[in-house]
């Protein structure tokens, strides 16, 4: 994945790798206004909690990039409106709100500057959010290595990799760091219905990096565990409450339940930008519901009778008591999560 970048700022535009077209085609989208970022996040051309936060930060820069240097009130209106619109794209991932709050703070901190310098200050903030995420993932990855056996047979869900972050990844960052540390790693990848982030994205990025990858349908995970084929489950997170409850891609909760049944450690990997210290439990995490067509169709092909009722929650909540450890850039958090997460909030 070294030569493939998820998000880049290039000459006044944002360049995104179009994840909706992977793995068939490697298409780069050049986006020049913030509506393009709004649409790319809503339509999941770019997805994954840290990645949408980073893209949204650059979206704020795009919103003001061409504002004339004399139009201070227009600049402020455009920046604030863009932040509000970007916040409304997807509700669950904390990183989106975290990054946009950082952009709003950067705006307030630099209000005394000229419009030209304000634009540069916002660009610098967005670039720092990107670089900072890459460093967090690398540090988190190193911390997570101690949880891997020398022969690690890992099950992962959705995509918590380089494609979901600035680079390197969270759950997949641990695997990258583990491989570098000389562990022998075999990865089972859940396909991750309805949008197949596991099959399309995780299998792709791990194979690009030469991992031993085996793809399974979501409903095969219990049998794979019963057969003793995996010794750890590692997933990412979209939002983590103060008690350690974790929102992540739909299907994560089911995996945690069956992992417990088979005495397999269930590990979550996430940077602190995913933690929501304002929420006591996962009950209060907003869960996105997406279009019925994501369930009734696979690509262009309809797979269900017309008019069938559909429920399509994009995330679920895994209760803290099913989680063995949460790996962050500040180290590994073990239960009791309430006390140990509180230490990080300081």
Residues binding ligand MRU (CB under 6 A): 47-50, 93, 158, 160, 164-165, 170, 197, 236-238, 248-249, 314
Please name the helix (run of DSSP H) or strand (run of DSSP E) that holds residue 186, with its range, or none. Answer: strand 184-190
CB nearer to ligand MRU: give 197 or 243.
197
**Closest separation in Å from C-beta 75 to ligand MRU:** 31
Q: Give Cα 204 to chain centroid, integer Å.
A: 16
Within 8 A by CB and 6+ apart from 158, the residues are 164, 190, 192, 197, 198, 202, 235, 236, 248, 249, 251, 252
Q: Cβ of residue 157: shortest distance to ligand MRU, in angstroms? A: 7
Minimum CB separation of residue 335 from ligand MRU in Å reads 21
Q: In the complex, which residue's CB is closest to ligand MRU?
A: 236
Q: In the Cβ-directed half-sphere of 33, how many Cα atoms lie within 13 Å?
A: 5
Which residue, 45 or 197, is less far from ligand MRU as judged by CB? 197
> What amino acid positions are annotated as catalytic residues?
238
Q: What is the dihedral of CA 150, 135, 165, 219, to 10 degrees?
A: 20
Give the residues across from 151 on adjacent strands. Answer: 184
Determine whether 52 is exposed, middle or buried from the number of CB atoms within 10 Å of its CB (0-12, 13-18, 19+). Answer: buried
Nearer to ligand MRU, 110 or 265 (CB): 265
Q: Give the SS3 label for residue 114.
A: coil
162 vs 2: CA distance, rounded Å: 10
CB of 224 to ligand MRU, least distance (A): 19
For residue 267, the minimal CB distance to ligand MRU (Å) is 13
- Distance of alpha carbon 164 from alpha carbon 159, whole angstroms: 6
Q: Which is nearer to ligand MRU, 123 or 160 (CB)?
A: 160
Query: Closest CB to ligand MRU among 78 and 142?
Result: 142
Question: CB of 335 within 8 A of CB of 326?
Answer: no
Separation of alpha carbons 191 and 175, rounded Å = 18
93 vs 255 by CB, closer to ligand MRU: 93
Cβ 176 to ligand MRU, closest distance in Å? Answer: 13
Please give the distance of CA 48 from its chain centroid, rounded to a whole number. 3
């Amino acid at each position: 994945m070294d030569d493939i970048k998820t998000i880049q700022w290039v000459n006044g535009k944002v360049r995104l790798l179009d994840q909706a077209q992977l793995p068939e085609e490697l298409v780069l989208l050049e986006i020049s206004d913030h509506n393009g970022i709004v649409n790319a996040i809503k339509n999941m051309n770019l997805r994954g909690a840290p990645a949408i936060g980073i893209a949204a930060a650059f979206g704020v820069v795009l919103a003001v990039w061409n504002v004339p240097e004399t139009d201070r009130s227009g600049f402020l209106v455009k920046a604030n409106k863009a932040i509000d619109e970007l916040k409304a794209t997807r509700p669950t991932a904390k990183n989106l709100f975290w990054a946009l709050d950082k952009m709003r703070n950067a705006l307030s901190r630099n209000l005394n500057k000229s419009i030209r310098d304000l634009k540069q200050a916002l660009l610098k903030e967005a670039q720092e959010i990107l670089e900072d995420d890459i460093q967090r993932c690398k540090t988190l990855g190193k911390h997570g290595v101690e949880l891997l056996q020398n022969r690690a047979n890992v099950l992962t869900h959705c995509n918590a990799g380089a494609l979901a972050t600035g680079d390197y990844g969270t759950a997949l960052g641990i695997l990258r760091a583990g491989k570098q540390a000389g562990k022998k790693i075999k990865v089972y990848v859940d396909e991750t219905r309805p949008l197949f982030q596991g099959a399309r994205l995780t299998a792709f990025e791990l194979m690009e990096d030469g991992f031993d990858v085996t793809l399974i349908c979501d409903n095969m995970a219990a049998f794979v565990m019963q057969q003793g084929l995996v010794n750890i489950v590692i997933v990412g997170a979209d939002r983590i409450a103060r008690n350690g409850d974790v929102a992540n891609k739909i299907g994560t909760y089911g995996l945690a339940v069956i992992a417990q049944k088979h005495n397999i450690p269930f590990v979550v990997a996430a940077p602190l930008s995913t933690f929501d210290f304002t929420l006591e439990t996962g009950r209060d995490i907003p869960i996105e519901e997406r279009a019925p067509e994501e369930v009734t169709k696979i690509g262009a092909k309809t797979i269900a009778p017309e008019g069938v009722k559909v429920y399509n929650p994009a995330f679920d909540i895994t209760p803290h008591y099913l989680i063995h450890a949460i790996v962050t850039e500040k180290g590994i958090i073990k239960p009791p999560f309430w006390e140990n997460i509180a230490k990080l909030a300081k």
